Structure 1
């Protein structure tokens, strides 16, 4: 059935006369009367009792009016939503994160929610290189905050900042009395490190290799939180981003800077190059870039 007939019928009921309804709809009264007749023929019932001055809605007409009103309202809502999607894209943001980004991401989200108060934001902790690449290429996330070096023609990776890595050891450890550590100091110590596929592991092992030493790996982990818990129990020492350790819960461990080798990691903003990014995603990217420009923390590869 022609959807316009429902709109015509609703207008006639609400205006109570064909003359007023025709004026509101900007059509002639004969055309409106003919349209309502077609609607009645279509449903097989009398919807309006007509008189020379006013109309009266039948019981069947009253039921149709309320149901048609719901239908038209829903149609208008869907139509408005489709128009909004053309302008803004879906109000949903999927973000992949590393653990140490938690110290600044909430600041960006606070500004973002002022622009998009109704946006749904999903935060995914995605850590290893394969997981980051798969999440981006499969469109599971719109963007990633990652320390993984993404050597891919399909992914744009913009460096945001560099964060220092520090040694974390149990309180009372023999090295805790030192104000700073060298890699030679850590030789032979039970060591906790990220498992294969994590850039932080590569950075740490590369720095050890340059110093001429190799760590005695006792535990391989995925999350820094696990490493802190193991250190807390005196099961070994580890090397973690300073930003993460500063924000982590207090534990029974000591933090010391490492000297002698340049040990740090880069953090990137990454997204798939050929994917359409709706305005809501572009705005979030803009807020991130502005934040680090203001804080003078943009670095170059």
Structure 2
């Protein structure tokens, strides 16, 4: 049994296709097939089901995959440990982010690359729910996500922004006579919101559920700017980060939502035990030193960052 056979098996299982796996591995497809068949002959069991349109692990293959991944991770760990002790940082860091904010993430990644040019960096964009799942499973080393008042379970966070979530309406809207409303005032009214999975939407759903109703979402989009435009045209009340809405006072009348108060935080998050590799740990250390204010909650916004560089160190 060879490590490359295990690598080929894991890659084909993840890609569900021999050709895509070969492209990812930068080897010829027949070579991938041949090595996996050798592994299957050695084990005396078929590991992949090739009968459908996509390749899937057999029952035996599914049982083998965790051990194959662990073996590959152990080898990577050996290499990273040697590099760390000799002062050479290599490896890969995976970073995630919500769609819209004012954090200087490009600057952070560029500075980190300048300091550690041998580290490969990848960046992906998704909803907060997806990013939190990917952090917990180790697919990501760090991510910028939107959360509520409590820290996500199993994760460490650096608060980048803590601000109210407001209802914003056009100046001719019937709610524009109010500066503050209770959450129950939104019951049955057409609301304009980010999609499910975003932190802002989660805070809205939680508050409405506590008040005993489900919000009526008339319009849903992932761009806060579009939400603001829809509200300005009188199509409903947009649920937006406070600073984002306040910056558009010419278009929108901003209403504080109370009883309960709606608030959200934008944070940099990582696994509580720290990223598994030295490159990931180095990135989080740099981020904690350099990231400050100027971020919004699922949108662009204000200058009043809430960074906590004096929190517990990342292992």
- Report TM bin, short chain: 0.5 to 0.7
1:217 corresponds in structure 2 to 217
Give the deviation of 1:86 after TM superposition: 5.6
Aligned 1:94-173 pairs, distance under 5 A: 94-99=94-99, 102-103=101-102, 105-106=103-104, 110=107, 117=114, 124-134=124-134, 137=137, 139=139, 141-148=140-147, 153=154, 156-158=155-157, 160=159, 161-173=161-173
State whether structure 2 residue 286 is matched by structure 1 residue 287: no
Q: 1:228 to 1:86 in 2, by over 3 A?
A: farther
1:255 corresponds in structure 2 to 254
Mapped contact 2:167–2:240 kept (Cα < 8 A): yes
Give the deviation of 1:179 after TM superposition: 2.3
Larger radius of gyration: 1
Q: Deviations over 1:48-67 (max 9, x none)?
A: xxxxxxxxxxxxxxxxxxxx
**CA distance in 2: counterparts of 1:223 and 1:186, whole angstroms:** 21
Which one has a larger percent helix, Structure 1 or Structure 2?
1
1:200 corresponds in structure 2 to 200
2:188 corresponds in structure 1 to 188
Q: Deviations over 1:178-199 (max 9, x none)?
A: 2223224333321123333333
**CA distance in 2: counterparts of 1:226 and 1:197, whole angstroms:** 18
**CA distance in 1: counterparts of 2:205 and 2:249, whole angstroms:** 27
Q: 1:99 to 1:246 in 2, by over 3 A?
A: farther
**CA distance in 1: counterparts of 2:270 and 2:90, whole angstroms:** 17
Q: 1:112 to 1:223 in 2, by over 3 A?
A: closer
Q: Deviations over 1:182-240 (max 9, x none)?
A: 22433332112333333322321222343455432223333433422332433221212
Gaps (5+ residues) in structure 1?
1-81
1:240 corresponds in structure 2 to 240
The TM-score normalised by the length of structure 2 is 0.52
Mapped contact 1:166–1:242 kept (Cα < 8 A): yes
**CA distance in 2: counterparts of 1:283 and 1:255, whole angstroms:** 37
Q: Deviations over 1:227-258 (max 9, x none)?
A: 223324332212122244356x7873322222
Mapped contact 1:180–1:257 kept (Cα < 8 A): yes
How many pairs align?
Answer: 211
The TM-score normalised by the length of structure 1 is 0.54
